[in-house]
Amino acid sequence: MNVKLLITLTWSKIMAFFLVGCALTLDLKNGGATAFMFTVPFVSALILGKQYFDKGKNETNGSSNI
């Protein structure tokens, strides 16, 4: 079984983690979990979508083996 995990840090991922931090700070300050509850699915979609498109981009950048 061959598993390859490559995580590249991009500006969009940095901003996604920044959003999670801001949401967590807001919730801890205001005593609830509303901001964090709505931020986590959005941030997860951003990160997973970016990983998916980066994977597709890296596969097409190489030369063809014909």
pLDDT tens per residue across span 8-65:
787 887 888 899 999 999 999 998 888 999 999 989 888 888 778 877 776 655 554 5
17 neighbors 61 (Cβ within 8 angstroms): no
DSSP code string of 22-53: HHHHHHHHHTSSHHHHHHHHHHHHHHHHHHHH
Q: What is the pLDDT of residue 20?
A: 92
Angle at 17 between CA 14 and CA 19, to 5 degrees: 110
Segment holding 55, helix H or strand E? helix 34-60
Q: What is the pLDDT of residue 56?
A: 77
